[in-house]
């Protein structure tokens, strides 16, 4: 038996080991999350509803914006709160800022060194200062726009249950618009090396899941669609998605309940399902670089992220122009705290994110469940690793470990977010 052990994989978020065993021609793979289990779901129990978004965003320093927004929407669904379109647009800008922050860092710091034969972004900087200067400027703009709308670049403050705690002024929106237009100008030039990367020739068809609403590229609202198959309401997720406990991982794994098969979430899943809803600029890029969707290569998740950066940049400009023309009239809506159960499904940078809360009539959390994108991707990463290793062995490729690291990084895993309790919690706060 031969064992390929990838220890503490670099250039990903969090701590992950990956083990591939080869015995009598059979290949097996294990994604071994090493992070300590996050206690957040248990901490939620017994707390008041308004505390939850602040705590939920602390699940991760990378995905913090979307965790806050998803927690808020789940609570609002429990209270049957509906927001006006203008407030929804402001929240979307916060989510877009978070996606841009995450995608930019992943592509240029984590992925690009693999394909430019460099150990890190620092080596690339010595060869191509303009590229790195532009990348850093894009990151700074994404941070600034998130700060302008959300109150902080990391762990934004303004989105709250019922709306926002503070509205941006017209002058601030105009500043954000100027920055968004600069981001758009930089994006096409700066992303060109990503679009031109030569990825390994490897495909494996799997199930792809993402939000879908048929009207716009989904981010905060929609049903959940299985590519080429049915779609279902977020509140029915337990009928379709099944958690699995693996003794080698501190994170849950997930499969489709009906078939027991793995599935993928993330930028490639979103683009595969929603590519017809991408912006004009994103469509131009797809045509310019002759990109084809649906794509079945996990490595193409990186290029799909670049396509999304172009799309979100244009969407950001359009949304800001709309808000300047038609600003919000008030920052919050009135609502009544009541007993209820709320589920929200959104698209985090790494894929489908689900928050589920049960709240009593005093506004106290009685049940909490969070399903993160990376946890959903683990079984798909394992299946891809088996197929890709088998291909590499047949082709007598030597550096299998290095190739497997590329494959894992293509998924942009966020191991910290994925480390969860194995069971949902119905404990009272007194029992903790």
Let me know if residue 154 belongs to a domain: yes
- Return the residue matching tokens 């941070």: 143
Closest CA to 365 of 42, 57, 38, 37: 42
pTM over 0.75: yes
Q: With respect to residue 139, please indicate whether it lies within any of the assigned structural domains.
A: yes
**Does residue 67 fall inside a structural domain?**
yes
- At which residue do the structure tokens 């602390």 appear? 58
**Total count of domains within the chain:** 1
User: What are the pLDDT tens digits along the chain (432 aa)?
Assistant: 899 999 989 999 988 999 999 998 899 999 998 877 667 788 899 999 999 999 999 888 788 999 999 999 999 999 999 999 999 999 999 999 999 999 999 999 999 999 998 888 889 988 899 999 999 999 999 999 999 999 999 999 999 999 999 999 999 999 999 999 999 999 999 999 999 999 999 999 999 999 999 999 999 999 999 999 999 999 999 999 999 999 999 889 999 999 999 999 999 999 999 999 999 999 999 999 999 999 999 999 999 999 999 999 999 999 999 999 999 999 999 999 999 999 999 999 999 999 999 999 999 999 999 999 999 999 999 999 999 999 999 998 878 999 999 999 999 999 888 876 444 433 333 333
Does the residue 432 lie in any domain?
no
What CATH number did the domain enclosing 389 receive? 1.10.645.10
Is the Cβ–Cβ distance between 168 and 327 less than 8 Å? no
Q: Which residues contact 428 (CB under 8 A, 6 or more apart)?
A: 45, 46
Separation of CA 418 from chain center: 11
Angle between helical axes of 300-325 and 170-195 (0-180°, round to 10):
160
Is 365 part of any domain?
yes
- Does some domain include residue 359? yes
Task: Let me know if 386 is exposed, middle or buried by CB neighbors in 10 A (0-12, 13-18, 19+).
Answer: middle
Q: What gap in Å lies between CA 363 and CA 370, rounded to an integer?
A: 19
User: Could you tell me the residue range of the domain that residue 27 belongs to?
Assistant: 2-427
């Amino acid at each position: 038996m031969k064992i390929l052990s990838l220890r503490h994989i670099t250039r990903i978020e969090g701590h992950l080991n990956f083990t591939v065993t080869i015995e009598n021609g059979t290949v097996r793979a294990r994604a071994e999350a090493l992070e300590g289990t996050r206690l957040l779901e248990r901490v939620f129990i017994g707390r008041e509803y308004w505390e939850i978004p602040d705590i939920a965003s602390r699940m991760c320093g990378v995905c913090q914006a979307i965790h806050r927004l998803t927690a808020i929407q789940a609570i609002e669904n429990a209270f049957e709160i509906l927001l006006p379109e203008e407030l929804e647009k402001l929240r979307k800008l916060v989510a877009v800022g978070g996606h841009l922050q995450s995608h930019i860092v992943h592509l240029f710091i984590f992925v690009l060194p693999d394909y430019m034969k460099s150990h890190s972004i620092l080596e690339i900087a010595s060869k191509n200062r303009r590229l790195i200067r532009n990348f850093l400027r894009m990151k700074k703009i994404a941070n600034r726009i998130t700060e302008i709308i959300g109150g902080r670049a990391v762990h934004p403050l303004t989105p709250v249950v019922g709306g926002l705690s503070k509205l941006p002024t017209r002058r601030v929106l105009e500043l954000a618009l100027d920055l968004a237009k600069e981001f758009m100008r930089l994006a096409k030039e700066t992303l060109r090396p990503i679009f031109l990367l030569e990825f390994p020739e490897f495909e494996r068809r799997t199930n792809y899941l993402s939000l879908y609403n048929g009207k716009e590229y989904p981010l905060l609202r929609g049903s959940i669609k299985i590519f080429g198959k049915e779609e279902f309401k977020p509140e029915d997720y337990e009928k379709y998605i099944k958690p699995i406990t693996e003794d080698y991982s501190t994170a849950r794994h997930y499969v489709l309940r009906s078939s027991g098969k793995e599935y993928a979430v993330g930028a490639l899943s979103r683009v595969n399902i929603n590519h017809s809803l991408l912006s004009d600029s994103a469509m131009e890029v797809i045509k310019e670089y002759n990109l084809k969707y649906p794509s079945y290569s996990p490595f193409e998740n990186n290029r799909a992220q670049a396509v999304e950066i172009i799309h979100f940049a244009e969407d950001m400009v359009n949304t800001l122009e709309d808000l300047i023309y038609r600003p919000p009239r008030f920052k919050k809506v009135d609502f009544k705290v009541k007993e209820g159960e709320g589920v929200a499904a959104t698209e985090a940078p790494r894929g489908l994110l689900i928050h589920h809360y049960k709240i009593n009539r005093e506004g106290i959390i009685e049940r909490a469940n969070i399903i993160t994108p990376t946890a959903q991707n683990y079984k798909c990463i394992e299946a891809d690793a088996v197929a890709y290793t088998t291909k590499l062995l047949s082709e007598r490729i030597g550096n299998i470990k290095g190739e497997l690291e590329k494959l894992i990084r293509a998924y942009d895993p966020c191991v910290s977010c994925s480390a969860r309790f194995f069971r949902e919690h119905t404990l009272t706060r007194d029992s903790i």
